[in-house]
Amino acid sequence: MGAAASALLLGGCTVGPNFHRPAPPVAEGYGPADLPQQLAAGGQSFEIGGMVDRQWWHLFGSPQLDALEQEALTRNADLAVAKAALDQAREVWLSGRASRYPTVQVAAGASRSKDSYTLASPLSSNDQSYSLYAGQFNISYVLDVFGGRRRQIEALGAQAEAQRYQLQATYLALTSNVAGAVLQIASLNSQLSAAQANVTTLRHALETTRQMQKLGELSTNEVAAAENALESAEQSLPPLRKQLAQMKDLLAVYVGRESADQPALDLSLADLRLPPRLPVTVPGQLVGHRPDVMMAQANLHVASAQVGVATAARLPSFNLTASLGGISTVVGTLFSSDNAFWSVGGAVGETVFDAGGLRHQQKAAQAALRQAQAQYRGVVLLALQNTADVLQAIVQDADALDHASKAAQAAERSSRLAQTSLAHGEVGALPALAAQSAASQAQLALIQADSARYVDTIALFQALGGGWDGHTGEGSNP
């Protein structure tokens, strides 16, 4: 019995559940139907089981995008906040680890005193006036018999892990936002170019219509229709310019600049390329590549360790203390054998009555663990849903792009034929203007459909974790 007690005191045990990573999803896909091998438009194909490149934005083939991503990673304020928060969490964890070791303090003091002759002198020489010097070492150590402190350190480590995943989530959101902003600027530039070209064409059509009216070939109604078409086209330009200016302001924030110092960015969709290969990480691997899932797992680890902390709080605590020092009227003899003192002590304590406070704290920790387990399951389901939605968007938007391309080609042919018929006097201005308007709308729809494909691709890289591998060895340090 004594040997067992000694082993318990020296080696200790660790109360509370040991944390184990939740099992990954067993599904092999993200929906009831298989993904098509080749997409309808855009020259892209799925690669089941493929992995996202760490710097996936290089796949869009834009040096300007690459430079802006690098600037954002260097200067973005949110990323700097997340890095500092991780540094803080790591230091708190390291501070907690220090509690595993004894605490050693050194104290020294000096005083000059004169006692009343009414009282006996505290010195063996009975001097009433004296100088007194003291120095000592104090050592204290809390025996972690039941592992409560180890569980607390474990919880601090898991909190630091969660902050590391938060940093990765910030990194992923930032790189995705920068790529999305650059894409939106390119799309708006392309839409502006198309709209301005339409304005130029309609302005020329108005001049032609007015000349033909003077010649008596067209009516006033047709001139008014041409004027209306031009004004409607002109009206579409300010909203596009407003969106473009706002997107440039937002991009400046992402890269850590003031709005007055926003990056000079002049590119269109033609300056970007769609990555031909679209990796599709399987669900079992996805949970290890999504920072939000790994953060939920780290929070689950924290809750598990806190159960051990609350359990140990209900058990006895053991403390050891020791002091070694000396007191003398002369500094040179402070640590002589005659002036030395020492003490060694130990204490054990346990709460015998607290009206159930500690028991309820333990139950609260157990409830928090169940809550973290449910939250983890919810985050995993949302991650799977997010990825499934993006994959479906890619498939459906590829079909939409295919139809938009064919519609734009047909509308352009119709517009050319109408213009030719108008020039030969075969039709009036109204059919030609209607055909031109339809061609313009079809071209804008094509640009927007093309933009949607880029948005889908960025969203897929983000949904798959952006090429970050969040798996670390169990019990690894943050």
The answer, yes or no, to whether residue 470 has pLDDT greater than 70, is no
Residue with the larger pLDDT of the pair 475 and 414: 414
**Mean pLDDT, to the nearest integer, of 261-289?**
91
What is the structure's pLDDT at 182?
96
Contact between 121 and 127 (Cβ < 8 Å): yes
77 DSSP 8-state letter: H
Q: How far apart are CA 34 and CA 14, in angstroms?
A: 48
The answer, yes or no, to whether residue 121 has pLDDT greater than 60, is yes
What is the structure's pLDDT at 456?
94
| 129-158 pLDDT, tens digit each | 888 899 999 999 999 999 999 999 999 999
Nearest Cα to Cα of residue 176 among 414, 367, 454: 454
Q: Predicted confidence band at 472 (pLDDT cuts at 50, 70, 90)?
A: very low
What is the structure's pLDDT at 473?
37
Structure token digits, residue 340: 């030395």
The percentage of the chain sitting over the pLDDT mark of 70, rounded to a whole number, equals 95
What is the structure's pLDDT at 140?
95
**Mean pLDDT, to the nearest integer, of 337-351?**
90
Q: Predicted confidence band at 12 (pLDDT cuts at 50, 70, 90)?
A: low
**Mean pLDDT, to the nearest integer, of 281-308?**
95
Structural domain boundaries in the chain: 15-103+146-316+358-463
Q: Predicted confidence band at 9 (pLDDT cuts at 50, 70, 90)?
A: very low
Chain centroid to CA 298? 14
In the CATH scheme, what is the code of domain 15-103+146-316+358-463? Answer: 1.20.1600.10
Contact between 76 and 257 (Cβ < 8 Å): no
The answer, yes or no, to whether residue 476 has pLDDT greater than 60, is no
Q: How many other C-beta atoms can be found within 10 angstroms of the C-beta atom of residue 23?
A: 8
| 13-31 pLDDT, tens digit each | 789 899 999 999 988 888 8
Question: Token match 């960015």: residue?
Answer: 265
Q: How many other C-beta atoms can be found within 10 angstroms of the C-beta atom of residue 44?
A: 18
Q: How far apart are CA 195 and CA 16, in angstroms?
A: 67
